[in-house]
Structures are given as structure tokens and as C-alpha cells.
Amino acid sequence: MAPTPNNLSSPGTSRRSFLAAGATVLATKLVSTQAVTKTQVWVQLTTGGKPYPPTLQEMFLDPMFFGMEIWPIDQPASFAALLPTPPQPARGAAPAAGRGALGGGTERDEPPDYPWEPSGGRPHPGYDVLVLNDQMNWPEATRAQARQAVEAGRGFVLLHHSLGDNQDWPWWYEEVTGGLLVLDNQNGKKSTAVSTGAKLDIRLAAKHPILRNVAPFTLGNEEVYKNMWQSPKITPLLLTSNSGSDSTVAWIGVHPTARVVCIQPGASRETHRNPAYRMLVRNSILWAARRI
């Protein structure tokens, strides 16, 4: 019941009523905020081939990522779900079960409002954004899926290790991401120097929706790259003056259709738990999904 001046003035209940009133106001505010800021972004998170701390996934449980459904699927991963699956016919009732029953397939026994789970042959909603932190040369089938998703205008956020993806696929780094962590000298590109434990003072390079609520910040323990190959067509977002690192450490990719964001930091627990870094990743996902 909403508080009234009368029950607020009652000496026995005034504190409780005041708290209840506060809770009601808070709940109302949350509901109204929800109506305005509802995002519902579907995100696939793929890592592989390089070690990292589990604080990467822990980061996405921060309430800052409210409204996003983020599903890890590590390599070997398919990118087919970046495009929606066609509607599938409803499945029949679950077969009779009992200990020792042998029928194969999937049985369902769940509440009607059970959250979507990416298993059991359910129609997929289609991920809006692919967040990458893997480092490998993708097989041909995966490349075909990625190309289709790029051309369909899906979003891509590349973190740290994934800047070394697809060393042998120039289309990916020249036409999409605009940057490559060069693992070995190749085609006139010198290998990138990698150093650990670096302190990075980071400043903003431009005014961009991704940098909303992001102030200059410092990362105390990061793995940095020097002499990456970077396209002259990238749009820098973040800069550093650390001499062991390239100056541009976050940028917008170069593909005209897809929305692509590249973020060089992302190796350490300290970075994953840095509020400014989290805000940067959050905004990058929302921008890549065309929500901001």
C-alpha cells in the first residue's frame, strides 16, 4: 500500500513506512527506466587458443550489462547463429519417461516462462553482436559464416587476443577490423612486439557514442602491442602515450556495412574489473548492435 501522510506521521511505523515509500519510489523508477532503456541485445562471446582469466566472463555479470543476453561459446565455435534461424515447427509432447526408458531425443519439462537456453534444438533468436577474444585462423566454414554476418550488418567487438585472428585472411583485417596483431613477419608486415605488465594511461581520441560516460583512465597491468598493422581508414577512439604500445588502442573498424569495434586491452583481471573498461565494452556492444 502506498504511504500516506497519516501513516508516515504515526510514531510506531514511521521509519518502516518511510522505507516502504522509498522502495515503492525506487521500484516505480526502475519500471519506468526499464520502459525507456530496454535494450535486449543478444551477444555471442567466443574465445579460444589463448589463455585468459575467467574475470572476462565475470565482467558480463555486472549489472552494467543489464538487458544483454551474453552466451559464451568457445572454439571450436560456429558463427551461424549470428543470423536468425527460420521458424521451426513446435515439438510434440515429451515421451513417457521412467527409469530404464530408452527413447532417444530431447524431452522438455519446464515452466512456460523458462528463459531461453541455447540447447535442445530451439529456434535461435540470432545474435546481434559477436564479441571475440580468440586467436586462431578460422576454418573456411566459419569464415563463410562470418562474412555473411558482416555483410548482413551484424556487430563485432574484438577484444585483445582476437586482434591476432586470421593471419592468413587479409579480407578480415583489411576490410573489416582495420587492424592485425602480426604474429610472424609476413607480406611486408613486421611482427608485432608484445609486452606484459604494462601501465597504460588512456585518453579519449574523439567524441563518439561509445565513449559516453568514459573518462580518461589508467590500466595498471596490461599486455600491450607495439607495431600492429593498422589501416589508415580506422577511426581512433582511445589513445595512449605508453612507449611500449601503439598509440591507438581502441578504434572503429573499416567495413561499411557491419559495425566493428576493436579494443586492444583486455588481458588481465585488473582490466576486466576496471569500471571504465567495462563501460567501454558495454557501450561498444550497444553501438555495434545499433542500440546507441
Partner 1 sequence: MSMLSRRSFLGSAVGTVALPGALAGAAATAALQAQTPRGQRLLVQFTGGGHTSPLQMYAMFEDALFSDVDPVVMPHPNAFDRVGGPDAPDVIVTNDWITGQWPERDRANMVKHLDAGKGLIVLHHAVGTNNDAWAWWSEEVIGCYLYNANVPGMKTEARLKQFVRQTIKPVGTHPIVRGLEPFMLPWDETFPNMWISPRSTVLFESDDPSFNNPAVGWVGPHQKARVACLQPGHTRHVCQDPNYREIVHRMVQWAGGRLS
**Which chain residues interact with partner 1 by CB under 8 A?**
27, 30-31, 33-34, 38, 40, 45, 47-58, 60-63, 66-67, 70-77, 97-110, 113-115, 117-120, 134, 136, 273
Q: How far is the CB of 14 from partner 1 (least distance, A)?
A: 24
Cell numbers 500516506: residue = 4
- In terms of CB distance, is 147 or 273 closer to partner 1? 273
Q: How far is the CB of 50 from partner 1 (least distance, A)?
A: 8
Q: How far is the CB of 233 from partner 1 (least distance, A)?
A: 31
DSSP reduced 3-state for 117: coil
Point out which residues pair with 157 in neighbouring strands.
131, 261
User: What's the half-sphere exposure (Cβ side, CA atoms, 13 Å) at 219?
Assistant: 33
- In terms of CB distance, is 109 or 243 closer to partner 1? 109
- In terms of CB distance, is 73 or 205 closer to partner 1? 73
Q: How far is the CB of 138 from partner 1 (least distance, A)?
A: 11
What is the Cα–Cα distance from 172 to 195, expressed in whole angstroms? 25
Which of 106, 164, 162, 108 shows the shortest CA–CA distance to 131? 162
Phi, psi of 179 (to 5 degrees): -160, 150
- In terms of CB distance, is 92 or 104 closer to partner 1? 104
Phi, psi of 276 (to 5 degrees): -70, -40
Q: How far is the CB of 105 from partner 1 (least distance, A)?
A: 7
- In terms of CB distance, is 132 or 237 closer to partner 1? 132
57-92 residues labelled b (16+ CB within 10 A) or e (exposed): eebbeeeebeebbbeebebebebbbbeeeeeeeeee
Q: How far is the CB of 188 from partner 1 (least distance, A)?
A: 27
Angle formed at CA 246 by CA 245 and CA 247, multiple of 5 degrees: 110
- At 138, list the grid cell: 578460422
CA 34 to chain centre: 21
- At 110, list the grid cell: 519446464
Phi, psi of 80 (to 5 degrees): -60, -30
- In terms of CB distance, is 32 or 241 closer to partner 1? 32
Q: Can you give the length of the chain in residues? A: 292
- In terms of CB distance, is 78 or 241 closer to partner 1? 78
Q: How far is the CB of 167 from partner 1 (least distance, A)?
A: 14
- In terms of CB distance, is 12 or 35 closer to partner 1? 35
Q: How far is the CB of 55 from partner 1 (least distance, A)?
A: 6
* Cis preceding-peptide flag for 275 (omega within 30 of 0): no
